[in-house]
Amino acid sequence: MTDNVLLSQEADGIVTITLNRPESMNALNRALLAALKEQVDELLFRRDVRVIIITGAGEKAFCAGADLKERTGMEETEVKKFIFTIRNLFTSLATLNKPVIAGINGIALGGGTELALASDIRIASTNASLGLTETRLAIIPGAGGTQRLPRLIGIGKAKELIFTGRRVSADEALEIGLVNKTCEAHKLMDECKKMASMILETGPIAIEQAKYAINAGIETDINTGLGIESNAYWLTIPTEDRLEGLTAFREKRKPEYKGK
Ligand code: COA
């Protein structure tokens, strides 16, 4: 990993990833993208990790999007390569076999909001400010924003926000469904961990299949989606965890799931 642009902490099945370029509002440069890709690729195969939390270092920003200083020196082909890399990276995060919680601790603009959109659950501090502001730079969201924002908040509101490049406060983000929850900045990590801890109580294979069924099903018609749900459900039936859930219920105790 390069220059500690990304920090990673592990405890009890939760990995907390921190974008660590606070002097640049945690803007995404090539080094940070490479470090994040390395992490995500590794996490895909970590069976002991159940939930990922992504946040930004410092008190001001979650992520101010692409590093515009680095961008200034790029040839057109390099810009295309950067966009290709960030879009694929966010897609691998969105399809990762574990839930990802974005702890939005301040400004999240452009790619910062797209990173939050690629996460499964978004919790924002009350001082957060989100926006797909790319059109103000005469470009468009290129890391999934034009696709994930309308799917999350509806096409009308998404068009408004992308066409105007307007920023929304944490309160408005909550109102329009762009974030799941808001809390005071000093409680943000606790709130993310509380959410993660509830997920830890569930069956790992169930969560993986639920995420897959939701992600894949939402892209299809209802009958195809129900077929996807059915297939995903079938995979949970032969698991030891399913039997453990039933046994624990009968024995009036907490289940101990093993992801088997
Ligand atoms: N890329 C590179 N550096 C960035 C950055 C970005 N996307 N966003 C902020 N920074 C840097 C600033 O250049 C500044 O560094 P400097 O002190 O060396 O000049 C530092 O972070 C602090 O930012 P500053 O602009 O002084 O803080 P602010 O509170 O006045 O404003 C923002 C913060 C985020 C609103 C403002 O920096 C901004 O609009 N950034 C661009 C965001 C954007 O358009 N992102 C979408 C990219 S597609």
Segment (H or E) for 108: strand 107-109
Mean pLDDT value of segment 74-93: 97
Q: Cα of 128 to ligand 1 centre, how many Å?
A: 15
Q: Cα of 171 to ligand 1 centre, how many Å?
A: 22
pLDDT of residue 1: 40
- Do 43 and 81 form a contact (C-beta atoms < 8 A)? no
- In the residue annotation, 134 being an active-site residue is answered as yes
Atom from ligand 1 closest to the CA of residue 24: 21
Domain ranges of the chain: 6-200, 204-251
Q: Cα of 67 to ligand 1 centre, how many Å?
A: 9
Question: Predicted confidence band at 200 (pLDDT cuts at 50, 70, 90)?
Answer: very high
**Residues within 6 Å of ligand 1 by CB:** 24-25, 27, 64-69, 107, 109-111, 133-134, 137
Mean pLDDT value of segment 47-66: 97
Task: Write down the catalytic residue from 10, 75, 76, 134.
Answer: 134
CATH number of 6-200: 3.90.226.10
- Say yes or no to pLDDT of 3 above 70: no
Reported as a single tens digit per residue, the pLDDT across 203-260 is: 999 999 999 999 999 999 999 999 999 999 999 999 999 999 999 999 999 999 999 9
- Say yes or no to pLDDT of 171 above 90: yes
Q: Cα of 64 to ligand 1 centre, how many Å?
A: 6
pLDDT of residue 254: 97
- Do 209 and 173 form a contact (C-beta atoms < 8 A)? no
Mean pLDDT value of segment 57-61: 97
What is 204-251's CATH number, 3.50.50.60, 1.10.287.3510, 1.10.12.10, 3.20.20.150?
1.10.12.10
What is the pTM for the complete model shown? 0.97
Q: Which of 5, 23, 25 to mutate to test the pocket of ligand 1 (most atoms within 8 A of CB)?
A: 25
- Say yes or no to pLDDT of 43 above 70: yes
Measured over the CA atoms of residue 191, residue 192, residue 196 and residue 199, the dihedral's sign is positive
Percent of the chain whose predicted confidence (pLDDT) is above 70: 99
- Say yes or no to pLDDT of 2 above 90: no
- In the residue annotation, 208 being an active-site residue is answered as no
Q: Which of 23, 68, 161, 167 to mutate to test the pocket of ligand 1 (most atoms within 8 A of CB)?
A: 68
Q: How far apart are CA 194 and CA 44, in angstroms?
A: 22
pLDDT of residue 112: 98
Half-sphere exposure of 37 (CA within 13 A, CB side): 16
Reported as a single tens digit per residue, the pLDDT across 241-256 is: 999 999 999 999 999 9
